[in-house]
Structure 1
Amino acid sequence: MARTNPLQFIQQVRSEVSKVVWPTRREVFLTTVMVLIMATLTAIFFALVDLIIRSGLQGVLNMFG
């Protein structure tokens, strides 16, 4: 394993960080809104699935119990 001196390491880190493309405020806002919308839709979907399964199971239990 090659050893790198601390100064060279810091230079390499700074070089790599300068290549990062940071999102704009608008991109962050739109992405956040999309995540919230998708989380809400997923929660509604699973709530409906849960309701259907619960109703079906209660129907079966009432039929035999």
Structure 2
Amino acid sequence: MSVSPGKFLREVRAEAKRITWPTRRATLVTTGAVLAMASLASLFFFAVDQLIGLGMRQLFGLGG
């Protein structure tokens, strides 16, 4: 089955017209939510890492 390049490009253009892009506000809200969740996750993993490090130092008597 062969499709001509012209027909392919027309179909791509028709599909591109059907795309519904998010509004600026929706994009900003979603970006803010992603940044907030990434920040919370980084704080959580930092705290867990510090607790594990403290436990290891206590267990093995390393450091001050």
Give yes or no for TM over 0.5. yes
Instruction: Say if 2:21 is the partner of 1:27.
Output: no
Q: TM-score, normalised by structure 2?
A: 0.90
Structure 2 Cα separation of the partners of residues 44 and 11 of structure 1? 49
Unaligned runs of 5+ in 1: none
Identity of aligned residues (%): 37
Instruction: Between the two structures, name the one with larger relative contact order (CA 8 Å, sep ≥ 6).
Output: 2
User: Following TM superposition, where does structure 1 have runs of at least 4 consecutive aligned residues deviating by more than 2 angstroms?
Assistant: none
Structure 1 Cα separation of the partners of residues 24 and 55 of structure 2? 47
- CA root-mean-square deviation: 1.2
Instruction: Say if 2:18 is the partner of 1:6.
Output: no
Q: How many residue pairs are counted as aligned between the two chains?
A: 62
Corresponding residue number in structure 2 for 1:18: 17
Corresponding residue number in structure 1 for 2:38: 39
Structure 1 letter corresponding to 2:16: V
Unaligned runs of 5+ in 2: none
